[in-house]
Amino acid sequence: MNFQELNLSAPILRAITDSGYTQPTPIQQQAIPYVLDGKDIIGCAQTGTGKTAAFAIPMLELLSRKRNDLRCIRALIITPTRELAIQISENVTAYGKYLKLKHTCIFGGVPQGKQVSAIRSGADILVATPGRLLDLMQQGLADISKIEILVLDEADRMLDMGFIRDVKKIIARVPAKRQTLFFSATMPAEIKELTRTLLHQPAEVSVTPVSSTVKKINQSVVFVEKGDKAATLIRVLKDSTITRSLVFTRTKHGADKLVKQLAQTGIYAAAIHGNKSQNARQKALLDFRHSHIRVLVATDIAARGIDIDELPHVVNYELPNVPETYVHRIGRTGRAGAAGTAISFCDTEEKTDLRAIQKLIGFTVPVQTIPR
Ligand code: AMP
């Protein structure tokens, strides 16, 4: 199935193409038609499955189909953490870039002034963490009484983090006649109960949890200090049986620097990240796909659209601070039963990230040493 078959309008399809997506993920294939049909849904899916687009794309489509000249918040997305709120907001920006809809993102831990002005200047879509939203509502600064679409993202995490009471208070203020899209990776009893009260004849969509899909990948971790990472990677890449390796860095600058360091030892690589033009990214991808270069260095955002069938080797040059990103990165290897290897470099500062990753995937990644 491709996105064209999903009954989406041209501006959205164009934005999806710009994001580099070629095919809807399973959760998108399942959820998008229901949402476009106006149905409530319960989505059982974790981060890394493409669930954000599964609700954001049809939400944008519905809002843009039905013009509304009143300046009011028409869609509300509630999510547990600031990082998720920002990520969702970035996705909405990407998929809605050719539409006239405005959105804004609010979360706690920062002064409220700018967020309040953004809401005042008119937002069709509000992405929010529960505490800050409730706070602004109680001050009379956020009006959610005209919501047409309500999205609850990572409901189980909101429960774990003690936000469920806030969430219930918020929901009590949105119109009863609305469309509700409910996402949770797991369905504990309290969450099930919540769905019973919130949703109207929901369609259920689910995909296998991401953490279980990584088990077949041969993973290892190499403890190495920051200053030794480049030299260690060069030693790893000396192994000529590695025909293609996708290397993840946290920053664009880090990606560029690494490409230069590799080139100095005769390993030709290309970097893809947000500062590169679409053409440069395209060329790098083609060179990689056609084996003109063995190594592609990417940041997470730029790597989103990479869809290469045979990707035997992934290196986490730097560990991500969001554990799900690890799963998503290494999930690019070992697809469809093929053998895949994922090596992660971990320096002293990254040990906390490693612990969070191991907690998510449910096992301790074996330690490997790279001989000098
Ligand atoms: P999510 O599960 O929403 O956190 O998405 C995980 C990652 O998959 C994000 O980096 C998305 O940009 C990316 N993504 C979402 N949908 C697609 C798609 N259809 N094709 C390729 N990548 C996608």
Q: Which of 30, 47, 52, 60 to mutate to test the pocket of ligand 1 (most atoms within 8 A of CB)?
A: 52
pLDDT digits (tens, 9 = 90+) for 186-207: 787 888 899 999 999 999 998 8
pLDDT at position 160: 78
For residue 269, pLDDT over 90 is answered with yes
Rounded percentage of the chain residues whose pLDDT exceeds 90: 66
Cα 240 to middle of ligand 1, angstroms: 31
Residue identifier of the C-alpha nearest atom 12 of ligand 1? 304
Residue 157's pLDDT band (cuts 50, 70, 90): confident
For residue 69, pLDDT over 60 is answered with yes
Residue identifier of the C-alpha nearest atom 20 of ligand 1? 21
Q: What is the pTM of this model?
A: 0.64
Domains and CATH numbers, the chain: 3-206 (3.40.50.300), 217-361 (3.40.50.300)
Top mean pLDDT of 8-17, 201-210, 264-273, 328-337 is at: 8-17
What atom in ligand 1 is closest to the CA of residue 45? 2
Residue identifier of the C-alpha nearest atom 21 of ligand 1? 21
pLDDT digits (tens, 9 = 90+) for 209-241: 555 556 678 999 999 999 999 999 999 999 988
Residue identifier of the C-alpha nearest atom 14 of ligand 1? 50
pLDDT at position 54: 97
For residue 92, pLDDT over 80 is answered with yes
What tokens were used for 30?
A: 């399942």
Residue identifier of the C-alpha nearest atom 19 of ligand 1? 24
Q: Which of 328, 329, 360 to mutate to test the pocket of ligand 1 (most atoms within 8 A of CB)?
A: 328
For residue 335, pLDDT over 70 is answered with no
- The binding-site residues of ligand 1, defined as CB within 6 angstroms of any ligand atom, are 21, 23-25, 28, 47-53, 304-305, 328
